[in-house]
Copies of this chain bind each other. A is one copy, B any other.
Amino acid sequence: MTTGRIQGKVRIVGAGLIGTSIGLALTKLGTDVVLEDSSPGNVRLASDYGAGVPAGSNDQPALIVVCVPPDVTARVVSAELAAFPNAIVTDVASVKSSILDEIAATGADLTRYVGSHPMAGREKGGASSGRADIFIGRPWVIAENPQTSAAAIKAVEELALDLQSTPVRMSPLEHDHAVALVSHVPQLVSSLLASRLIGASGVELAGQGLRDTVRIAASDPKLWVQILGANSTEVVSILDDYSKDLNQVIDALRDVSKAGSLATIDQTIANGNRGVEQIPGKHGSRNSQFSAYVVMIDDRPGELARLLTEIGEIGINVEDLKLEHSPGAPIGLVELQVLPNVGEKLMNDLQVRGWRFA
């Protein structure tokens, strides 16, 4: 008996990070999960972790979730639609439009197919990195095609809700544009910036600003070649605009005494300000709703806990927290974000208790 919304058996094809994580979460709810993978070792591993049982030849799945790499997703979805004529099939690939086109080209039954994309992941891949919790609170994009049946959409919505993520309906093209904007273009911009550091001198002056900007540049090239290749049209259209603005600011910097140069530089930074304000913060609010304070702590076990215990005693909820690097110093800098109306109290009360602010 399942306590989840999905009724019937769920077949997961591809027992990597995402497939295993979905299996773990559904199994916890009591849903019947069967696992398939081109590698029998992956199936055994995911099964050992508790993500489901190996698929059998007589399975009658109600829902099939294809969790294979982007470049083989369309082929596997089409094969599953053909092999299980009563099942609804979805996939979790991070591009949607080109995969839909490929599936359509095979003549597959598109009424039973609905693409989806859980906006979740971890830096490490593989079944052994799977966790039931990675989808909680994350958006789960449901990208139906014009032929998708209402039953198919409902099934994937139930899957998203069972995994405690938030269903977001978009067309495949809307999805691909959105992820180009919030994920694919940032990846390239960050990688290109990090590349400047190779063989460069002066990197020892790096502060938190550079570190944040290039953090995602540490991502896996193999996966990103597939993602970027499959969403190239949307990515190029945004990069073209980026490149145009970049060339404009380069021209301005090449001759700062020219009329209009300083205005161009000013506008570039000011537009960045406006762009950042578009990003929803925690609880759907804007980042700028919080006030930030930086507290200094000694770099030894228990100090951060002591700070947060005292903040709890003061009765203030920390909305966001970041422990900053402090190169070469036996000290940590803790950035606390709190609601503006409690900021002064936080600072005063902590100072009375002997905490120092940076």
Chain A residues at the B interface, C-beta cutoff of 8 Å: 119, 122-123, 131, 133-134, 136-139, 141, 164, 166, 168, 170, 174-175, 177-179, 181-183, 185-198, 200-207, 209-222, 224-225, 228-229, 232, 235-236, 238-243, 245-247, 249-250, 253-254, 256, 261-262, 265-266, 268-276, 278-284, 287, 292, 294, 296, 299-302, 304-305, 307-309, 311-312, 315-318, 320-323, 325-329, 331, 356-358
- Picked from B138, B275, B358, the residue with its CB within 8 Å of the CB of A198 is B275
Interface pair B268/A192, CB less than 8 Å apart: yes
The complex places the Cα of A328 from the Cα of B281 at a distance, in Å, of 9
The answer on a CB contact under 8 Å between B178 and A280 is: no
Distance in angstroms from A34 CB to nearest chain B CB is 25
Inter-subunit contact A191/B312 (CB<8 Å): no
Contact with A311, one of B177, B261, B305, B331 (Cβ below 8 angstroms) = B305
Inter-chain contact A119/B323, CB cutoff 8 Å: no
- B196 and A275 form a contact (CB under 8 A): yes
Cα–Cα, bound, A280→B280 (Å)? 31
Chain B residue, CB-CB nearest to A137: B329
Contact B209 A183 (CB under 8 A): yes
Q: Which residues of B contact A215 (CB under 8 A)?
A: 209, 212-213, 276
Q: Is the CB of A275 within 8 A of B137?
A: no
Which chain B residues border A194 with CB–CB below 8 Å? 271-276
Name the residue among A177, A318, A327 with the largest chain B CB count within 10 angstroms.
Answer: A327
- Residues on B with beta carbons closer than 8 Å to the beta carbon of A242: 192-193, 196, 246
| Known A133-B358, A195-B268; contact A253-B232, beta-carbon cutoff 8 A | yes
10 contacts between A and B (CB under 8 A): A133-B357, A170-B202, A183-B209, A186-B210, A188-B268, A191-B268, A209-B215, A220-B269, A282-B327, A304-B308
